[in-house]
Structure 1
Amino acid sequence: MAKASAGDTNPGIRIVVAGDRGTGKSSLIGTALGKSFPTNVRKVLPPTKLHEAFFPYSVPMTIIDTSSRVADGCNVAEELKRADVVVLTYACDEPATLHRLSTFWLPKLSKLENMPHIVGVFQPHVVFWVELGLDKLKLGLSGSAQLLLTWNWLLCSGSGWAFGWLGVKVPVIVVGCKLDLRDENQKVSLEQNLEVFYYAQIAVLYPRGPLLDCKTQALKPRCVRALKRIFILCDRDRDGALSDAELSDLQVKCYNTPLQPSEIFVIKSIVAKQMPEGLDDCGLTFMGFLFLHAQFINRGHPEAMWTVLKKFGYNDDIKLAEDLIPTSFKRAPDQNLVLPFFLVMANGWPGFSWGWASNHSMMHAISLTLHLDRKKQQTDRNVFQCFVFGPTKAGKSALLNSFIGRSFSDKYTSTGVEDHYAVNIVNEPRGTKKTLVLREIPEEGVSKLLLDKESLAACDVAVFVHDSSNAFSWEIATELLEEVASHGKDTGFDVPCLIVAAKDDLVSFPMAAQNYIRVGRLMSIKAPICISTKLGHLNNVFRRIVSAAVHPHLSIPLLQARPTPLQKRSRLALN
């Protein structure tokens, strides 16, 4: 039996109704189809089909009635194996039928071989229907099982009873009905009988199993990772929170209607009350985003989360659809394809999650031997990786932030010792597009990086950032430049190098112009590129980086024969 999934072409949902004798199995099915309570009901009804127009998801359903005779046990077991969802019944005026749910029916379901999977990998859902006739309501409430009489995903509890997982692999959903003793409410009761099969349909089309760990009541890791990606995609200004406009845009994408201001206010009020860390000055944080989706499930609306996941390309296993993930790549004869950028993403971000998460960011850092490019003095590749070096507080992080559109912040945040990445598309003057991966190398991490002889093999361009108002920052940057260039020459991985003079909105340190000219002449590299991320003056720095990668021979520094002439001359000039 092909499992149903909302919006897909499928043969429908197969619902099997099971339970002890006299618990209302056939009556439940007959009432769902008719407009009155049946008086004379056959012991076992033939397979009953509900037209797809019965419910909003337009999925046809076949309801299978089962016999309570012991002799028909094998047939019942076969039907249970073929089921997409099982509806168990018991009578509230017969406590023994309730007891047999946990002692007979649930163990029977859990021991079946080849149990049907719901939406790919999860066991079939069990919906409990409680038969509450109008003359049995008081008996049901005063019996051993105390019922929460509301329509929702509920738990049935009482003296010693607690229906949850019960040590079996079948997730349990309890559906109760709200009734009173007045005859005019019989029409409502009939509608609620039909809703039993609506909830059964929901259990198949929008299963809770892939989303929630029923034992811990926490979202499963794969679901959290999917929501993290969705959050990053929706956070267009990259401030780590969803603003009112971004929340409304998400609603439009998923439901084709914007959120009203009053609705946004209610959402924020709920989050502020129950999870204060879910909000900050910029809007809804990722923790608040997770909290809202967990609330959808806990309140009986898993379809809300599934709608969001499907809109962002996830399948029934909460995996991205294959057409969203590139499977073949163009590469030169001397290139080997690796995925260091994705490895970093999989390990999680220790700080800000730099990186542009969209279809364009499904790109690849490529480990290269660059000999062919050096001989041709140009490259036809479209993906480049740039290592960004520089002393602490020079402006490396601000450069990465500006590359992916983050707003400038005067507040300094240390990036620690871990590398960080930013990925974006660079449009060249002739209309071609190049993908540029910026990898920030902390000052403390340079020595460790250069211990590996092939550390520069994946580097197409090295950029050295310094604070143009600080002479000591310039001295460290030039030392790093010579250290990296020497390592590249010694290992055979010469890389083009560029110098970036950051914080150009400040007054330059004394003798800055003379030092820039002297280093350019000594190492035969271009003058520093002056930028101000605070003012938004970037001086085409990213195009220049790509240009250096496309024509690497023009920016490879020349080293003097003496060990450290650059350091000595720079220090003399500064003194």
Structure 2
Amino acid sequence: MSGGSAVGAPIPGRRSTVRVVVVGDRGTGKSSLIAAAASENFPESVSPVLPPTRLPADYYPDGVPVTIIDTASSLEGKAKLEEELKRADAVVLTYACDKPETLNRLQNFWIPEVRRLKVKVPVIVVGCKLDLRDEHYPMSLEQVMAPIMQQFREIETCIECSAANLVQVPEVFYYAQKAVLHPTAPLFDQESQTLKPRCIRALKRIFILCDHDMDSALNDNELNEFQVKCFNAPLQPAEIVGVKRVVQEKVPEGVNDYGLTLTGFLFLHALFIEKGRLETTWTVLRKFGYNDDIELRKENLPVPSRKAPDQSIELTSEAVDFLMGIFSLFDSNNDGALQESEVDELFSTAPESPWDEAPYKYSLERTELGDIRLSGFLSQWALMTNLDPAKSLAYLIYLGYTNDPATALRVTRKRTLDVKKQQSDRHVFQCYVFGPKNAGKSALLSSFIGRPFQNSYALDNNNCYTVNAVDQLRGTKKTLILREIQEDDVKEFLSSKESLAACDIAVFIYDGSDEYSLKRASELLMDVARRGEDTGYGVPCFFVAGKDDLDSYPMAIRDSEAICQELKIDPPIHISVKERDMNNIFWRIVNAAERCYLSVPETEYGRNKKQYRRLVNRSLMFASVGAAAAVIALAAYRAYASRKSHSSS
């Protein structure tokens, strides 16, 4: 594998320009450095602050122009300087080689100032006026800068130059450009001198994609195809031999009888980076669709657009079939479940496991050993697709989905249209769970994924989702997502016009032994019902009497049924999570979500609104009938008048 690339060849994801801001104390040579780089001559006199200076695209091999911004060091120019720093792609910090105090200012003022402004871009430290350094100051650049670079990790590199003698002037802005186009930080850990985990994972995916015969090694033909794809030039036989020899000498397991192994492939990239040839690894990553964060570029993820807020996005049958195949492939012991180590291996070609953080970490059903069964695996993917379709699609591709990405996701029909058609085309339903404190919301969510009952649950907005498959009639399965809405968050939640757009059904749970709990749950139900009527996103609602193992208060059943009758929804469902008496609730929720035109609560406000609409429509109808009658009468009169005039003539 060669590190060469075509000069000036466009690379996907490459930026169109690099903006370098030069800062430092007065008299350190900022303006002279910029003028010398632009004109390739030492200027006899320069303005205190130069206007923006552009180095053309062909100035450096990468073919990307550089815009250099000079800055004033005076207090009057502080606001402008801060503004420019915040717009910088890279910062050049200057000190004067003949004035050691300017180097101290670099450490004590300039770098802390860059940090204070939260400017997170590469920093190039440049010693100007190398020709004026006193012979009695023989410190080498390495001796001077090693402790500073150790202290300030944002410093990408250090260089000394002389504008007067034109020594290493172009190199200053070359290093600045290179630090932006080919940054070190995402790829390499300077302290441990190793590739970073994300870089290893991306290179592993690329290796697998290039290993067409799947023998865990790149043979000569596969190496050549890789070289042509990335660098537009084949490898000569002697070059392949040379590459293998270098690898075998350093890491014997990097080459076997079949070709270059993953170990050897990773070693070569670490070697390129150590030798300062980061452009080689970045060229490879960008050719395979990665951005500077070593994630797939967003523009390569064709997520279908939802034209209405009440549409959702689901996996297609093709994507589900692919995931079933992936599950089988990584279920190494064929026990029908993935262990933690198998899940880690499954995601080893992705930036990281997407399920290590909220809301996915605690959302799915696991076995007693903590393993994931196929139904839980597919349900988790359904949840990720529902909440973050772009992330779901990206991870499908990381795992090796090589079909057209556009075939992986589908947009469901609008729920308002489902109501009119009295049927739903969805395979995944989202249920919002409302209720007062201590009503049993968290217990309901936990029971859905088989977790044992607890007397108390920690309130955590990060763990507000659970997901599972629900068996339906005729052997079909639907995926149900439960989302818990904390009582204190309801008001803010409902303030958005589209708050209920993604909700297929709402459940209101209350403690059947507590009169206040029922009262508060009914208030929440009323709030949601009104919001649905206001926005047109009315949803089926269930009233659920939790804690059925406790004695209910005397009028509980009568009061709760009266509320349901008033709103024209089904009577309350009684459950006890503690006693595992769930009254088939999850099947009922999915069944109601499918029959989305039923169980939608109707408030007095909604009834009045509907009646008003009917009256308006009726008035309009009468008006249109009256207008039509008038038109017909006019036409008849004209016909009569015409006949009369003909007869009289």
Q: TM-score, normalised by structure 1?
A: 0.50
TM-fit CA distance, 1:12: 2.5
- What are the within-5 Å matches in structure 2 for residues 262-411 of structure 1? 262-321=238-297, 329-331=315-317, 339=323, 342=326
Quick check: 1:200 aligned with 2:176? yes
Quick check: 1:55 aligned with 2:52? no
Instruction: Tell me, in whole angstroms, the C-alpha distance in 1 between the residues paired with 2:57 and 2:248.
Output: 41
Quick check: 1:175 aligned with 2:127? no
TM-fit CA distance, 1:19: 1.3
Q: 1:191 to 1:256 in 2, by over 3 A?
A: farther
Q: 1:349 to 1:322 in 2, by over 3 A?
A: farther
Structure 2 gaps, min length 5: 1-9, 304-313, 331-337, 350-372, 377-398, 404-473, 477-649
TM-fit CA distance, 1:161: 4.5
- What are the within-5 Å matches in structure 2 for residues 150-169 of structure 1? 156-158=142-144, 161-166=146-151
TM-fit CA distance, 1:424: 10
- What are the within-5 Å matches in structure 2 for residues 389-538 of structure 1? none
Partner of 2:190: 214
TM-fit CA distance, 1:112: 0.9
Q: 1:250 to 1:138 in 2, by over 3 A?
A: farther
Instruction: Tell me, in whole angstroms, the C-alpha distance in 1 between the residues paired with 2:132 and 2:205.
Output: 53
Cα pair 1:212 1:219 within 8 Å, conserved: yes
TM-fit CA distance, 1:287: 1.3
Instruction: Tell me, in whole angstroms, the C-alpha distance in 1 between the residues paired with 2:52 and 2:220.
Output: 50
Partner of 2:211: 235
Quick check: 1:97 aligned with 2:102? yes
- What are the within-5 Å matches in structure 2 for residues 116-135 of structure 1? 123-135=120-132
Larger radius of gyration: 2
The percentage of aligned residue pairs carrying the same residue is: 44
Q: 1:354 to 1:211 in 2, by over 3 A?
A: closer
Instruction: Tell me, in whole angstroms, the C-alpha distance in 1 between the residues paired with 2:342 and 2:240.
Output: 30
Partner of 2:369: none
Instruction: Tell me, in whole angstroms, the C-alpha distance in 2 between the residues paired with 1:106 and 1:88.
Output: 8
The one-letter code of the counterpart of 2:72 is S
TM-fit CA distance, 1:125: 0.3
TM-fit CA distance, 1:96: 1.9
User: Is the deviation greater in 338-347 or in 14-23?
Assistant: 338-347
Cα pair 1:336 1:367 within 8 Å, conserved: no
Match of 1:252 among 225, 228, 231: 228
Structure 1 gaps, min length 5: 116-122, 148-155, 180-185, 358-364, 369-420, 426-491, 495-575
Partner of 2:24: 19
Q: 1:273 to 1:131 in 2, by over 3 A?
A: farther
Match of 2:91 among 81, 86, 92: 86
TM-fit CA distance, 1:349: 8.1
Instruction: Provide Cα deviations, 1:67-102, integer angstroms capped at 9, x if missing partner.
Output: 222443333222211211101111222222222222
Quick check: 1:44 aligned with 2:59? no
Q: 1:348 to 1:44 in 2, by over 3 A?
A: farther
- What are the within-5 Å matches in structure 2 for residues 556-567 of structure 1? none
Q: Secondary structure at the match of 1:163?
A: helix
Q: 1:331 to 1:320 in 2, by over 3 A?
A: same
Q: Secondary structure at the match of 1:29?
A: helix
The one-letter code of the counterpart of 1:125 is P
TM-fit CA distance, 1:17: 0.6
Instruction: Tell me, in whole angstroms, the C-alpha distance in 2 between the residues paired with 1:167 and 1:135.
Output: 27
Q: Secondary structure at the match of 2:69?
A: strand
The one-letter code of the counterpart of 2:233 is T
Cα pair 1:102 1:166 within 8 Å, conserved: no
Q: 1:337 to 1:49 in 2, by over 3 A?
A: same
Q: Greater share of helix residues, 1 or 2?
A: 2
The one-letter code of the counterpart of 2:39 is G
Q: Secondary structure at the match of 1:223?
A: helix
Cα pair 2:12 2:286 within 8 Å, conserved: no
Instruction: Tell me, in whole angstroms, the C-alpha distance in 1 between the residues paired with 2:187 and 2:151.
Output: 20
Cα pair 1:85 1:124 within 8 Å, conserved: yes
Q: Secondary structure at the match of 2:42?
A: coil
The one-letter code of the counterpart of 2:36 is T
Instruction: Tell me, in whole angstroms, the C-alpha distance in 1 between the residues paired with 2:279 and 2:75.
Output: 38
TM-fit CA distance, 1:138: 4.6
Q: 1:7 to 1:175 in 2, by over 3 A?
A: farther
Instruction: Provide Cα deviations, 1:314-362, integer angstroms capped at 9, x if missing partner.
Output: 2332223457667565449xx98894555676989879x999x9xxxxx
The one-letter code of the counterpart of 1:127 is I
The one-letter code of the counterpart of 1:295 is L
TM-fit CA distance, 1:308: 0.5
Cα pair 2:11 2:283 within 8 Å, conserved: no
The one-letter code of the counterpart of 1:253 is K
Instruction: Tell me, in whole angstroms, the C-alpha distance in 1 between the residues paired with 2:340 and 2:273.
Output: 25
Q: How many residues align?
A: 334
The one-letter code of the counterpart of 1:268 is K
The one-letter code of the counterpart of 1:109 is V
The one-letter code of the counterpart of 2:124 is V
TM-fit CA distance, 1:15: 1.0
Q: Secondary structure at the match of 1:62?
A: strand
TM-fit CA distance, 1:32: 0.6
Partner of 2:82: 77
Q: Secondary structure at the match of 2:44?
A: coil
Q: TM-score, normalised by structure 2?
A: 0.45
Q: Secondary structure at the match of 1:90?
A: strand
Q: 1:24 to 1:347 in 2, by over 3 A?
A: farther
Partner of 2:333: none
Q: Secondary structure at the match of 1:46?
A: coil
Q: 1:73 to 1:58 in 2, by over 3 A?
A: same
Q: Secondary structure at the match of 1:175?
A: strand
Cα pair 1:93 1:139 within 8 Å, conserved: no
